[in-house]
């Protein structure tokens, strides 16, 4: 069940377009009171819907040109120790536990292909990794996004308790 309404979705959308917007600017953009925006943000942070405000870094532009996805098959019972070992590697950007043959999908980034090869060698030597498969990312035609999904799911939601939907 969706735990946010259309005002929350619009607020998140404004922040995803510009995370540096202040409370007053957000309130003006959304047509609601400053206190409403502050209360909504506080609630979403307290309830862990909003985990932070992070810069969107273009890795290639800062010289980290090689990105890849490693699918890892693990020995039974070794999930946490493998995750701990991978987490200690700075090139590891994300780790997802998955279903299917592979147990983990790991997003990694390096500055060169030679560094990627070195990283792959480090990863396959981790105790508990029994098989790996690496796929090189060539481009990213669609970057991570959440707003279209929230808007789709929130179409039937209200706009707060007493504020009319802006037209």
pLDDT of 54: 82
pLDDT at 162 over 70: no
Architecture of the structural domain at 6-55 = Orthogonal Bundle (1.10)
Q: What average pLDDT does the segment 130-148 reach?
A: 94
Question: Quick check: pTM over 0.85?
Answer: no
Architecture of the structural domain at 66-137 = 2-Layer Sandwich (3.30)
Range list for CATH 1.10.10.10 in the chain = 6-55
Q: What average pLDDT does the segment 26-46 reach?
A: 95
pLDDT of 93: 98
Range list for CATH 3.30.70.920 in the chain = 66-137
Helix (H, G, I), strand (E, B) or coil at 93: strand
The beta strand positions in 55-114, using DSSP E, are 66-74, 92-97, 104-110
Neighbours of 13 (CB within 10 A): 16
- Banded pLDDT at 49 (limits 50, 70, 90): confident
38-42, 49-53, 117-121, 134-138: range with lowest mean pLDDT: 49-53
pLDDT of 167: 53
Q: Which helix (H) or strand (E) is 35 found in, with range?
A: helix 34-46
């Amino acid at each position: 069940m969706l735990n946010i309404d259309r005002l929350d979705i619009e607020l998140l959308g404004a922040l995803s377009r510009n995370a540096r917007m202040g409370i007053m600017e957000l309130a003006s953009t959304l047509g609601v009171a400053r206190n409403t925006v502050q209360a909504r943000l506080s609630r979403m942070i307290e309830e862990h819907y909003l985990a932070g405000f992070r810069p969107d870094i273009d890795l290639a532009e800062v010289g980290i040109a090689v990105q890849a996805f490693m699918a890892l098959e693990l020995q039974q019972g070794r999930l946490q120790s493998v995750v701990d070992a991978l987490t200690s590697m700075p090139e590891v950007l994300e780790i997802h536990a998955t279903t299917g043959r592979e147990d983990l999908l790991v997003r990694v980034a390096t500055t060169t292909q030679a560094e990627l090869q070195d990283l792959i060698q480090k990863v396959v030597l981790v105790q508990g990794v029994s098989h790996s498969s690496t796929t090189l990312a060539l481009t990213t035609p669609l970057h991570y996004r959440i707003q279209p999904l929230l808007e789709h799911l929130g179409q039937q939601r209200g706009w707060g308790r007493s504020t009319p939907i802006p037209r």
